[in-house]
A and B are shown apart, each in its own frame.
Chain A
Amino acid sequence: MNQKTRIRLLEAATFALALVPLGKVAWDHWTGALGANPIEAVLNRLGFWTLTFLTLSLVPTPAHDLLGLAWPVRVRRMLGLFAFSYATLHLSWYVGVDQFFDLRVLAKDVVKRKFMVVGFSAWLLLVPLAVTSTDRWVRRLGYARWKRLHRLVYAAALLGVVHFVWRVKADLRRPAIFAAAVGGLLLARLVPWAAGRAARAGRRRPGPVPDAALTFGGGAEGPPGPPGGSGPGSSA
């Protein structure tokens, strides 16, 4: 099996797995397992998977920089797009099913209810990220600018966690787990950043491979990296 086939299989498997939560919702609806308040159950599940995929999309970069794993970066874009899809489903479910487009309630929600303002803001931040998720957009913006724009995902993830924390009535266990996961994944990014600073402070040492090198195969479009610098895990 060659490299290309392996990558295709990885992408297909990720795609299929990412659809499982939706399939489970449909299955549970069919078997009556959504409970007495199915509208609430679906809304909560969609929110949970939004945060899950958002958190998962933060894993590939530190997994590469700290552990030398290249393959998660291949599916990072797909994970991010699934996070956006689930977020859009979650928002649409609330607006269209739970409140059935009751504009008076929704107008008040978006102004008065702190946790909804925070949640909606998180979704808004994901929109430009979804739109600019393609290779074409990376070329249009230039990698450096594209990378800066996509740092918005950190804000979106944090707002998503706050949205969950402020939503629950008393049991903070699940929001706390997400807070720890997102916090940890953000802290993990500081390690190579700090190492990068040490390198630039005068010592010639290969740093983390910029992920554009993995997206484009290290072509002319990638940003200048350390000369001959192949960090751990970059594949030919």
Chain B
Amino acid sequence: MRWRGDQKESEATPEGLWLRRREFLALGAAGAGALLLPGRPVAGEPAGAALDVVERTDRAGGEKPSSWDAITTYNNFYELGTDKEDPAAHAGTLRPRPWTVAVEGEVKKPQTLDVDALLRSFPLEQRIYRMRCVEAWSMVIPWVGLPLGALVRRLEPTSRAKYVQFQTLLDPEQLPGQKRRVLDWPYVEGLRMDEATHPLTLLAVGIYGRVLPGQNGAPIRLVVPWKYGFKGAKSIVKIRFQEEQPRNTWNEMAPGEYGFYANVNPAVDHPRWSQARERRIGEFFRRPTLPFNGYADEVAGLYTGMDLRKFY
């Protein structure tokens, strides 16, 4: 701008900036230009052994499923490292076979289930579900699995079973992230009985018709689409039916931030960030979060009369 004679020296561009203005301009232009160019897309086809899927339903209202790459390289699985890329990079030590799931507690016949036998004795379905992380990002995932309710019925819980608890593998050799006490291992989660037997609740063993990758919780994990993703315990080794409300790991880590119910609720903020909007992976703009992650019609009835601000 032209020198007027009445301007103060403080209005002048700082000397350091002025001397280097050409560099800063070049930097700004290069930076803006580089980010405007679309990055080279990384194409990835679903990989792994194919599963025999007998039924397919879309429970995500036709929304576009997230890519195989996104689903298998952006994970929260602290047992394999705490950065999002860590689980995919470190899943090699996890051995999903041989694998058993112990069934204990308030059940007529406590037993040990072999995962392969389990897969053979239930028809596998593909269910496309929304998945909403408590960190306010989301995906649409084509899970393959069996309804947890079908398994529960076969296991015959007693009348004293009010809740089901799930426990993840504890083995720092297979899950090296467990060498540090980032969370109180082993990871535990739980559901109320009616939540566990709800038609939407799934025990997932695959994605996109392929066997579940290690970073997604191989060989068998829980999927509860109307709740925040941390309810979906991975690499399950124990299912326990019990009378008392189960411990759940994130609630013990930060009771003010993560509850037991953890129903997706745009009206109840996390203390450190809003839950009203979410980043759908692959999209630029955030989108509004739906109550119960869009499954309100099917599950809101489980919570009538409950203050969801108190039971977060």
Contacts and interface: CB of A to CB of B under 8 A. Distances in A.
Interface of A: 15, 19, 22, 26, 29-32, 34-40, 77-78, 81, 99-100, 102, 105, 108, 112-115, 130-131, 133-136, 140, 166-167, 169-171, 173
Given A133-B14, A136-B9, A136-B15, A171 B82 contact: yes
Given A115-B272, A171-B78, A171-B182, 19 more contacts: A26-B35, A29-B34, A30-B39, A32-B42, A35-B74, A36-B281, A102-B286, A105-B277, A112-B269, A114-B272, A133-B14, A133-B16, A134-B15, A136-B9, A140-B9, A169-B135, A170-B183, A170-B254, A171-B82
Contacts of A36: 66-67, 69-70, 73-74, 84, 281-282
A37 B273 contact: no
Contact of A113 (B74, B78, B272, B281): B272
A29 B35 contact: yes
A37 B284 CA distance: 9
22 contacts: A22-B27, A29-B39, A30-B37, A35-B73, A36-B66, A36-B67, A36-B73, A36-B74, A37-B74, A37-B279, A39-B279, A77-B16, A78-B16, A81-B16, A115-B272, A133-B16, A134-B14, A135-B15, A140-B9, A170-B78, A170-B254, A171-B82
B279 to A, nearest CB: 7
B245 to A, nearest CB: 22
Contacts of A99: 286
Contacts of B277: 102, 105
Contacts of B254: 169-170
Chain B contact-residue range equals 35 or more
A27 B277 CA distance: 29
Contacts of B183: 170
B14 A32 contact: no
A34 B74 CA distance: 11
Nearest to A30: B39
B91 to A, nearest CB: 16
Interface of B: 9-10, 14-16, 20, 23, 27, 30-31, 34-35, 37, 39-42, 66-67, 69-70, 73-74, 78, 82, 84-85, 135, 137, 180, 182-183, 253-254, 269, 272-274, 276-277, 279, 281-282, 284-286
A34 B83 CA distance: 12
Nearest to A16: B23
B23 to A, nearest CB: 7
A224 B78 CA distance: 56
Identify the interface centre among A35, A102, A113: most chain B CB within 10 Å of its CB: A35
A34 B38 CA distance: 12
A105 B274 contact: yes
B292 to A, nearest CB: 22
Nearest to A130: B14
Given A37-B279, A100-B285, A108-B274, A31 B14 contact: no
Nearest to B72: A36
B117 to A, nearest CB: 34
Identify the interface centre among B14, B253, B285: most chain A CB within 10 Å of its CB: B14
Nearest to B76: A169
Contact of B137 (A37, A114, A136, A173): A37
Contacts of B34: 26, 29-30
A173 B285 CA distance: 31
Identify the interface centre among B180, B182, B254: most chain A CB within 10 Å of its CB: B182
Contacts of A22: 27, 31
B7 to A, nearest CB: 14
B40 A40 contact: no
A19 B30 CA distance: 12
A37 B278 CA distance: 12
A37 B84 contact: yes
A39 B84 CA distance: 13
A190 B180 CA distance: 34
Contacts of A131: 10, 14
Contacts of A35: 73-74, 84-85
A99 B273 CA distance: 12
A5 B285 CA distance: 49
Contacts of A34: 39
Contacts of A136: 9, 15
